[in-house]
Chain A
Amino acid sequence: MADNSSDVIDAVIVEEEIVFSLSGLCQAAGASPAQVLSLVDEGVLQPDGDAPQQWAFTGPSLRATRTALRLNADLALGTAGAALVLDLLEEIAALRARLRRAGLE
């Protein structure tokens, strides 16, 4: 392991500055290409580009992929079930944000 402890490392914000290829997303999320493909099929991930070789995933795809894989593995939801949970989680987050804005939470 590279020991760069004396150097200061510049961090990059994934969600804003990074676009993943299919293999890049697989590497970053610890996913297999088949898992990513099934998330694309479910509409969880919406890459730009026509063929998998040209796919470009936005930064937030990393979080979506990792969460879907965790839900799938820990709760045995299947890809469709994980996709539904992700949608519901997003909706809950939006509702909580409204509560926070209203000072109710």
Chain B
Amino acid sequence: MEFKDYYATLGVQRSATQDEIKRAYRKLARKFHPDVSKEADAESRFKDVAEAHEALIDPERRAAYDDISQRHARGETFEPPPGWDSGFEFSGRGGAGPGGQQAPSAEDFSAFFESIFGRGGPGARPAAGGRRQAPGSDHHAKVMIDLEDSYRGARRTISLRVPVVDLQGHVSLHDRQLEVNIPPGVREGQHLRLAGQGGPGHGGEPAGDLYLEIALKPHPQFRVDGRDVYVDLPVSPWEAALGATVAAPTPSGEVHLTIPAGSTQGRKLRLKGRGLPGKPPGDLYAVLTLTLPRAGSDAAQAAYTALRAAFPDYDPRVAQEG
């Protein structure tokens, strides 16, 4: 198990005050919060930061962590023997914010964190034990699908790791597989509801629902904007100038597309209804990208020379009419 330096994660000295720890956490949390950050690894960085904060902001946990990290620094193993923590009394105050909102990643704290503090996070509260009658809670997870899945719909097997609390209040992670029909037309950031697949109900109450938040895998060719899809379509100067019919890729297969004569760089050709399906379906835009052939051969050079002769007044640095 990897030793985690929580002070380094937050960028504070080991002697930092609780206020300094809080300030460092807030600053990093704003930087890496997955809802606001565009950093590539924001989600995992935020988890690290939140875990470090969770460990250090509570004086009891911090004292326990400091003890272990001192032994670690002396070269001793940091993995605590069973019962080592009997000298520390955890009041069981989890990271639940005001109003009982779950800490962001409580279920996902590292094995290192759990080896020291147990699954003390609010996500692991053995609430199941004493409940009399209550409907199951709704669960949330993220899934990543391909653009093609959204076009056609897809059947996907989704693996979830869910914490399960037994009668003694012990928590373990269970792998759970679900086979799901993904309806066509689902878009980035939307949610799928799987009725009755959330947490189990108690006392005869129904199970909760499972919500899957959709992320679209970035596609090497197509850009997605809501329901609309964009694709760059390379064309030669003469295809753009004289018009042509060319094959254009779409996520639902190749189509033939008429390039109007007199087209210019960046012109968008709309294929109505060829975007993501839905009511109404989105559109597909082919964005013309002019490419120039190399003047590699004598014939090609002659052609460019003739072109120059044909446009004696053309100055590309001066805006052209139309």
A positions within 8 Å CB-CB of B: 1-2, 4-16, 18, 27-32, 34-35, 59, 62-63, 66-67, 69-76, 85, 89, 97, 100-101, 103
Whether the pair B194, A67 counts as a contact (CB closer than 8 A) is no
Partner of A27, one of B186, B189, B208, B225: B208
User: Which B residues between 8 and 67 are near A, CB-CB below 8 angstroms?
Assistant: 26, 29-30, 33, 35-36, 46, 50
User: Which B residues between 210 and 247 are near A, CB-CB below 8 angstroms?
Assistant: 211-213, 223, 225-226, 228, 230, 232
Q: Does B129 belong to the interface (CB within 8 Å)?
A: no
Contacts of B100 on A, CB cut-off 8 Å? 32
Whether the pair A9, B103 counts as a contact (CB closer than 8 A) is no
Q: Does B207 belong to the interface (CB within 8 Å)?
A: yes
> Chain A residue with minimal CB distance to B278?
A16
How near does chain B come to A52, taking the closest CB pair, in angstroms?
Answer: 17
Partner of A13, one of B155, B185, B209, B228: B185
Bin chain B's interface residue count: 35 or more
Contacts of B178 on A, CB cut-off 8 Å? 4-5, 9
Q: Would you give 12 A-B contacts (Cβ < 8 Å), ordered by A?
A: A7-B179, A11-B180, A12-B183, A14-B192, A30-B140, A63-B213, A70-B104, A71-B33, A74-B50, A101-B230, A103-B223, A103-B266
Contacts of B180 on A, CB cut-off 8 Å? 8-9, 11
Contacts of A30 on B, CB cut-off 8 Å? 101-102, 137-138, 140
Whether the pair B287, A103 counts as a contact (CB closer than 8 A) is yes
* A contact face: mostly helix, strand, loop, or mixed: helix
Whether the pair B30, A2 counts as a contact (CB closer than 8 A) is no
> Chain A residue with minimal CB distance to B191?
A14
Contacts of A4 on B, CB cut-off 8 Å? 178, 197
Q: Which 6 A-B pairs have the closest CB atoms?
A: A73-B97, A11-B192, A14-B191, A73-B101, A15-B190, A8-B179
Known: A9-B197, A85-B36, A103-B232. A14 touches B101 (CB 8 A): no
Residue among B35, B99, B278 with most chain A CB within 10 A: B35
Known: A71-B35, A103-B287. A63 touches B189 (CB 8 A): yes
